[in-house]
Structure 1
C-alpha cells in the first residue's frame, strides 16, 4: 500500500492550496512506501473500517458499487486516513509504554 503522488493530477486551484498534498508529492516513493509498510495489521484494519464507514459498505456480491468523488473530497479522505493512522500509531506506542511501566512497577 503506497500513496500515488500523481493521483491528484495537474495543479488545480485546490491542490495548489493544499500544503499536505504538496508535501506528499515532494516525497520519494520509497519513503511513502516505508511509512505505509510500518503500520501494524491492527492499524490497517482500523483505518480500513474507518474508510469503509465513510464511503459506505455494501457486499460486493449482488451490488455493483461505484463511488464518485471530486479531488477535494478525496484529499479530505486521504488526510482523514493519514491523521487516523498517525493517531493510532501514537496510541500503540503509548499502550506499549504504559505496559512496560506497569511491568517495572511489579518488579519492585
Structure 2
C-alpha cells in the first residue's frame, strides 16, 4: 500500500504536468498565506457544527453518554457530504465578501 505522501506527490505531479493554473497559483503562495487559507472560518465552522449535530442527533453530554455506531461506508458518505457542504459555505462566504467589496467601490 502506498503512503499518503506518495499519493500526494503523484497527484501534485499530475497537476503540474497538466499545466494547471490553479496548482501553479497555489505553488506561488507564501507559506504564511497557505496557513491563513488553511484556517477554518469561524462562521462556516459554526454552521458545520450545527449541521453535523442535527444529522447525528445531539444530546447534552453532561446528561447523556452518547455512542454512535455506523459502517465505514456510511461514515465516508457523511464525511464527503460535510466536505462538500463546507466548500459550498466557504465559497458562498467568499462571494458575499467579494460582493460587499464591489459595492463599497461604487
The interval holding the TM-score normalised by the smaller chain is 0.5 to 0.7
Rg (Cα) greater in structure:
2
**Aligned residue-pair number:** 78
Ranked by relative contact order (alpha carbons within 8 Å, sequence separation 6 or more), the top structure is 1
TM-score (norm 1): 0.63
1:84 to 1:35, Cα distance in 2 relative to 1, 3 A:
farther
SS in 2 for 1:57: coil
Q: Structure 1 segments of 4 or more deviating over 2 A?
A: 34-38
Q: CA deviation at 1:35?
A: 9.1
Q: CA deviation at 1:41?
A: 1.1
- Unmatched 5+ stretches in structure 1: 1-9, 11-22, 29-33
Alignment map for 1:1-108 (pairs within 5 Å): 26-27=7-8, 37-105=38-106
- Unmatched 5+ stretches in structure 2: 10-34
